[in-house]
Structure 1
Amino acid sequence: MLIAIWAQDKNGLIGKNNRLPWHLPNDLRFFKETTINHTLVMGRKTFEGMGGRPLPNRQTIVLTRDKDYQAENVMIMHSLDEVLSYDQANKGKTFIAGGSAIYTEFMPYCKKIYRTFIEDRFEGDAYFPEVSWNKWQLTERKQGPKDEKNPYRYYFETYERAES
């Protein structure tokens, strides 16, 4: 099952220079706990922005148009269809983890969304693509604890694709 996972600010901002524009340890923990032992799909720039190493205990797929691209300990794929075939054969959870172009390409195929919504505004250069929210049903919204390490008001939201 394809699942989109991301964090965004009030304006839909998701990145700055291929990194997160905020520091929110509770969101990083949520991401880890949600995706552990599953597959992550991300574009090359997102992968390289994370240091060019796969996250522990997750199968990482790097999607790139560059047929010569190589990276250790990850699967390299070059098309949406390759990832969709992998997901069908895998029968597990496949998380779409960015960046913007990857989300745009995969959102029509996602069945679930995990979004961390941060009630603040940041500066950056990457935004989440427009979502047809009428096709999604909010099934859970939980406010995250605000403290000295997590200084923003934020919510963990889960959406399921609405039946048409």
Structure 2
Amino acid sequence: MITMIAAAAENNALGKDNDLVWHLPDDFKRFKTLTTGHHIIMGRKTFESFPKPLPNRVHVVITRNTEYEAEGAIVVHSMEAALEIAKNDSQPFIIGGGEIYAIGMEFADCIELTRVHGTFEADAFFPLIDANIWEVVEEERHETDDRHQYAFTYLTYKKK
């Protein structure tokens, strides 16, 4: 099962200037729990936004740049090549950014989306989720609290 995992605002904003525009500790914890032990497939800019590779995950970076090298990651030049690298993983995760999500939509079987309740200025966006193709199978809302400035909902989508 190929899973896309993202946190996107109500206007599908993902981030701005290669950074997130909110801080949701519980979402980070969920991301870590779900992706640990798996391949994480991402674009170059997403990889470069990390201070260092995330522990206990195989990083697969997609880039058009044939000269690109990334310490701690496997570099490929297409989603097909990334999925080939991850073929023995029972659940590889596509983790972004916007362009990689758009490419990954046709390959994914599942979307783990944290819908952040708000609209944000952004330069990267999650693609629209077609209700004719995807259905919500799980939903869990979290209100604001002293650690979370924005309410958010975990949504699990499966392909129909």
TM-score by shorter chain over 0.5: yes
Q: CA RMSD in A?
A: 1.2
Task: Specify the alignment match of 1:18 in structure 2.
Answer: 18
Partner Cα separation in structure 1 for residue 131 and residue 57 of structure 2: 29
Q: Check whether the contact 1:22–1:122 (CA below 8 A) recurs between aligned residues.
A: no
Structure 1: state its 5+ residue gaps. Answer: none
Q: Percent identity?
A: 38
Normalised to the residue count of structure 2, the TM-score between the two structures is 0.94
In structure 2, what residue type is equivalent to 1:55?
Answer: L
Structure 1 ranges of 4+ moved more than 6 A:
none
Q: How does 1:60-75 map to 2 (within 5 A)?
A: 60-75=59-74
Task: Specify the alignment match of 1:93 in structure 2.
Answer: 91
Q: For residues 64-93 of structure 1, give each alpha carbon's deviation from its aligned partner in whole angstroms, at most 9, with x where no partner exists.
A: 1111111111111111221232233x1421
Structure 2: state its 5+ residue gaps. Answer: none
Q: Check whether the contact 1:8–1:14 (CA below 8 A) recurs between aligned residues.
A: yes
Normalised to the residue count of structure 1, the TM-score between the two structures is 0.92
Task: Specify the alignment match of 1:122 in structure 2.
Answer: 120
In structure 1, what residue type is equivalent to 2:61?
Answer: V
Q: How does 1:2-151 map to 2 (within 5 A)?
A: 2-51=2-51, 53-88=52-87, 90-151=88-149
Higher helix share: 1
In structure 1, what residue type is equivalent to 2:68?
Answer: Y
